[in-house]
Amino acid sequence: MVRSVSEVVFVDGVRTPFGKAGSALAETRADDLVVKVFREVLRRNPHLPPERLDDVSVAATTQVGDQGMTIGRTASLLAGIPHTVPGYSIDRMCAGAMTAVTTLSSSIMAGAYDLALAGGVESMSRHPMGDGMDPNPRFLSERLVDTDALIMGATAENLHDRFPQLTKERADAFAYASQQKTAHAYEQGWIQQDLVPIATRSQELGWGLLSTDESMRPETTLEGLATLKTPFRPHGRVTAGNASGLNDGATAALLASESAADELGLSKKMRMVGFAFAGVEPEVMGIGPVPSTQKALDRAGLSIDDIDLFEVNEAFAVQVLAFLDHYGIADDDPRVNPMGGAIAVGHPLASSGIRLMNYLARDFERTPSARYGITTMCIGLGMGGTVIWENLHHDGSKA
């Protein structure tokens, strides 16, 4: 049988509200968070026969406990997906969910799959960053990486060092804007469209309901941001205010070949154009989106000028600013993170790649003049990942 290359479409995506580590979702199992988003994807897409799914991939950075045991398979079974559908887990640190999407999409492009379910989860309450980690001593003894490479906040301070024009004042201003844009998006009801409320349990407080992102600080002021401590070095520039927090949450996305989506009458929110991952010096991992974006653009035959919308993960404000400066984009360009980002809503590591895709799909709906958009993020240990998407709502005009 001769297989032809298939187009991949993003059918739908959902997520839990992101909780603060140690707070609302602290006593909720990570696999139960995945079950919740999987069930919601199936509920929202009743034309999808679950048995038609070809594979399930779920990402987690810390794959132990309730985030271990091949969570893509276990969460699939727990969600009621037929046992005939296989599943697996995947890890590329912060880009786990992004890699789950690109890996499954590669199989769809090759004609091996028609339909797939991707997810990402991180309970930083139950599994703090680095929990159970045992770095090979050669990393440091042979100076393969700088000691800063294992401390994400230190890598962000190194970016400030490398690019002196990326001042704390610029980082604080970007962080303030993220909070304001997120508050506006909530006021407009844009973010809530893809949130799955989660019942919370606390031995001390009893049952509750989390229906909004717990980390938002709409009351943030520039004056307040200026007073925050810099925990990673004396007189540093990275603070809790201009960086994402420690969070719990899960995401899920339904992917399909365009022909399968048409056959089943599924929605088609955006089409994958291409993707790329790239490596950089681990001690300045935040610059990773620059080479991964350039590689993706080159492969697609596009330039940065062709991109109408940008969803850039806000692990640290300085990381986004480094990307914007490289490509000559203004700090306050309205095409960048129109609904705010991780500084406001949080960054549960492996889940965030699909959160970016959810946002871009909604950006496309509201901006029919936009044809191309990207989702991009920096990745621990010195990497970047970028996916280019085409707006299937594009009206033919120029953004």
> Is residue 181 a part of any domain in this protein?
yes
Decide if pLDDT at 276 tops 60. yes
In a domain, 19, yes or no: no
Q: One of 184, 347, 393, 394 is an active-site residue; which one?
A: 347
Residue 374 lies in a domain: yes
347 assigned to active site: yes
CATH number of residue 373's parent domain: 3.40.47.10
Q: How far is CA 277 from CA 137, 282, 329, 350, in A?
A: 26, 14, 21, 15
44 domain-assigned: no
Domain contains 249 = no
Residue ranges in 84-147 assigned as alpha helix (H):
96-109, 138-141
- Mean pLDDT, the chain, rounded, equals 95
Residue 339 lies in a domain: yes
Please check whether residue 214 lies inside any domain of the structure: no
Residue 68 lies in a domain: no
What domain count does the chain have? 1
393 in active site? no
Q: For residue 83, give the 3-state DSSP assignment.
A: coil
Per residue in 122-181, pLDDT (tens digit) is: 999 999 887 888 888 888 778 788 888 888 999 999 999 999 999 999 999 999 999 999
In the set 47, 83, 94, 326, the catalytic residue is 94
**Residue 184 bears catalytic tag:** no
Task: Choose, from 83, 127, 235, 378, the residue flagged as catalytic.
Answer: 378
pTM value surpassing 0.85: yes
Could you tell me the residue range of the domain that residue 153 belongs to?
138-192+273-390
Q: What is the pLDDT of residue 189?
A: 97
Which pLDDT belongs to residue 1?
Answer: 53
